[in-house]
Each structure stands twice: as structure tokens, then as C-alpha cells.
Amino acid sequence: MDGTTEPLLAVVGHPIAGNPSQFALERAVSSLGLDWRVLSFDVPSGDIAAALNGFSVIGIAGVLVDSSIREAASAWYVEKTGFEGVSIDCLVRDEDGQFVGSDERRSWILDQLAEKENSMRLCFGNCGAKTAWDLQSLRAEKIAGDVKPDMIEAADVILVVDDLSGPPELELDEWPANDGSTVVLELSTRHPLQDRIRELGYRVLTESDLQIGVLQRSVEKWSSQQVDPAVIRDAVEEYLGV
């Protein structure tokens, strides 16, 4: 990144209080020996366009968009670039001084799925074609009826995403034990079942793992350097008092 002697990174969300991202990003850039500053801004969805346009003017080098205002930021980016159907959570300033957006949340998910190429993938929750969990690109089968134990046993990847308000329910009593070869991406916020799923032997990745992955990917995009994810995880856990 060029243009400032001390690059500035911004974290935006609403609410932003209690968000560990700034603290974790400060630790991450420091671990890379970079003298950068990280600032957090509480920006309601209705003000996100004004905020991001302002960041463009004052030379913010990179922006992390919290999921709380992701939809509004994505709408701003679509209007600005004309790229239809784009969702963003990370912005990086290019050589022309323009923000380039990316969807690091989705990229992290695809990275996890890539480890199970040509695998059977099941999806519980809001996995419709017009959601963030587009079944065609994820090559997953939406579970919409009774869940048979043999379906779970045959799956290499199981996605559990919002919304889980309707059927089918996660009947874990019907799930067979696993040897750790099946990955469960448990990203729902309404059904904290991670511990029970782990007890059955599945490898479980949670919303916390996703958050750390997004922070790691964003830092690497901004700095063109690899950061140790353990640095970010330790910072997040310290901030949250885990």
C-alpha cells in the first residue's frame, strides 16, 4: 500500500462496541512488523455509503465490514461499480486509489469446501438459491425432509446455517458417530450445537473460526503478507475473555 507513511485501516459495523476485530487486527499487523493504525467506526446501515465514500477521500487503506452492515455495504459497492449480485466484507485500496471489494467470508467457506473436493455436501437451514449459501456454487444438497442416518454418514461436509426456524430440525440423536473425516460448518446463531456434534467425533468449524479466517484473509489482502492465524485467535479470545 502506498500513499501514507502510516496506513490506516477501518472497521465498520453497527453496533461496533464489543467487536474484537480492531484489537485482533492491531495484533495481526504488529506481528508482521507493520506500523499501521486500526480505527473502529459505528456506522448505521443508512450512513454506510457516506462513510465509505468519505474513506475513499481521506485515504483509508483498507476497510473491514462487519456482518451487521454487510448488506448495505454491498449495495453501495454494486451501485459504485455496477457489478450485480456482489457481496463484500473487505475493501482494499488499489494503485489507482479506488476501493476494490471482496467477499472474504464466502472465500473462507469455499476454502474449507475445497478440502473436500468432489464430496457429498448437505446443507441445513436457509440454503436457497438467492441466499448467501447458493447451493449451485457450493454444490450442496439442501435437506428439506426427514434426515436419514445413512445420509449423514455418507456426507463429507455438512453446512448448518441460518435460518433454522423451520424443518428439518437437527435431530442429533439420529446422527451416527464419526471418525473426524466429516467437516461440519456450524454457522447458525440459533442452535449452538457445536459441543454435541464434536462429541460424536465430527470436525466442527464455527462462526468464530469463520471470523478469524476473515480477519486473516483481510490482513493478507491488505499487506500481501501471511499472518499466523494463532495470533488472531489468541487476540479474539483475550478480548472476549474466553
**99-113 per-position pLDDT tens digit:** 999 999 989 988 888
Write down the architecture of domain 8-102+209-240 according to CATH: 3-Layer(aba) Sandwich (3.40)
Please name which of 187, 177, 4, 39 lies closest in space to residue 112, comparing C-alpha atoms. Answer: 187
**In Å, what is the CA distance from 32 to each residue of 7, 29, 152, 157?**
14, 5, 42, 34
Domain coordinates in residue numbering, the chain: 8-102+209-240, 107-201
What pLDDT sits at residue 228?
A: 96
Task: Tell me: pLDDT of 231 over 60.
Answer: yes
Best mean pLDDT range from 85-94, 118-127, 220-229:
220-229
pLDDT per position as a tens digit, 42-61? 999 999 999 999 998 888 99
pLDDT per position as a tens digit, 187-213? 876 666 788 899 999 999 988 999 999
**In Å, what is the CA distance from 107 to each residue of 21, 116, 214, 219?**
18, 15, 9, 14
| Whole-angstrom distance, CA of residue 10 vs CA of residue 60 | 7
What pLDDT sits at residue 1?
A: 44
Range scoring the smallest mean pLDDT among 122-126, 136-140, 225-229: 136-140
Q: What is the pTM of this model?
A: 0.87
What pLDDT sits at residue 175?
A: 87
